[in-house]
């Protein structure tokens, strides 16, 4: 159950990233992000109002806000790093954020089966390879530093979401969405980039928002019901989904190192889920 939910979150995240990329071809990325976060907040708020989850204890609040802050800072630094550096250098660094919840889980006493440990190792290596690492040449210091900050923020996002979800998954998601939405809308307002989205793209962005919210919800449930180390790794294989969708739908070429990464991720997922 935990593995299925974590993998479903990866499927949703990967699909949302792909659709968000399509929407960003016709609109500025900051516009897509602002609309996605705003619509996602609306979706979660409707769910909160329908279930009245806010009436319970408030243990979720600081963790939800922390997750939102980490996510906002991480995405900002990641996009800035991609704009200033080589994607083959920046993307693998960002993907290593999964090591943080792994370490936190192990320090907390989690003890996955030996086959699960092998699967985790294979999946982590596969995630890095799928991002298409640039193995030769140097890289400017600034994008590397920004990507490192993004890596830490992405890792802390998983940890904070897990901690908040153990109190209340939905309200943690609401607090996280509230924080990220304020930052995204504020940034878009400063850039004066809140409008000019066609009706077709609004429908596409609704799908992005729904997929992103669902992914967060599934991960929160999975992490709160099982090992953070396993849930975070399985939820982090979403780059494979995005890469495969780009290959299938847009006929984008896969490099050999990416193909090897996809294979390693699939092996890792099989070992981690079956043990």
pLDDT of 191: 62
Instruction: Pick from 88-102, 120-134, 259-273 the range whose average pLDDT is largest.
Output: 259-273
Domain boundaries, the chain: 2-274
- At 81 the pLDDT is 80
CB-based contacts of 123, cutoff 8 Å, min separation 6: 233, 234, 236, 237, 264, 265, 268, 269, 272
Instruction: Give pTM, 2 decimals.
Output: 0.86
**Interval 255-272 mean pLDDT:** 90
Would you state the pLDDT for residue 87? 65
The total number of residues shown for the chain amounts to: 275
**Please, which pLDDT band fits residue 192 given cuts at 50, 70 and 90?**
low
Task: Count CB neighbours of 22 within 10 A.
Answer: 17
Three-class SS state of 228: helix
Tell me the per-residue pLDDT of 131-167, one tens digit each, with 9 for 90 and over: 777 765 556 788 888 889 989 999 999 999 999 999 8
C-alpha–C-alpha distance, residues 108 and 39, integer Å = 35
> Higher pLDDT residue, 122 or 30?
122
- What confidence score (pLDDT) does residue 142 get? 81
């Amino acid at each position: 159950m935990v593995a299925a939910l974590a993998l479903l979150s990866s499927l949703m995240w990967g699909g949302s990233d792909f659709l968000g990329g399509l929407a960003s071809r016709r609109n500025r990325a900051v516009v897509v992000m602002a609309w996605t976060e705003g619509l996602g907040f609306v979706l979660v708020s409707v769910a909160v109002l329908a279930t009245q989850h806010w009436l319970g204890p408030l243990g979720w609040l600081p963790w939800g806000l922390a997750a939102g802050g980490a996510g906002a800072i991480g995405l900002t630094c990641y996009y800035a790093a991609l704009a200033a550096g080589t994607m083959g250098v920046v993307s693998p660094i960002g993907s290593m954020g999964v090591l943080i919840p792994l370490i936190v889980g192990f320090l907390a006493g989690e003890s996955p089966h030996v086959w699960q440990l092998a699967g985790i190792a294979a999946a982590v290596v596969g995630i890095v390879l799928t991002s298409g690492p640039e193995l030769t040449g140097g890289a400017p210091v600034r994008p590397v530093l920004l990507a490192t900050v993004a890596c830490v923020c992405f890792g802390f996002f998983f940890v904070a979401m897990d901690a908040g979800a153990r109190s209340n998954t939905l309200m943690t998601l609401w607090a996280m969405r509230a924080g990220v939405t304020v930052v995204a809308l504020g940034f878009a307002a400063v850039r004066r980039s809140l409008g000019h989205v066609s009706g077709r793209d609004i429908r596409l962005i609704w799908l992005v928002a729904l997929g992103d919210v669902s992914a967060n919800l599934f991960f929160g449930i999975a992490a709160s019901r099982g090992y953070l180390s396993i849930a975070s790794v399985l939820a982090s294989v979403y780059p494979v989904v995005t890469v495969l969708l780009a290959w299938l739908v847009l006929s984008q070429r896969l490099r050999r190192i990416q193909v090897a990464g996809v294979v390693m991720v699939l092996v890792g997922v099989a070992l981690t889920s079956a043990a």
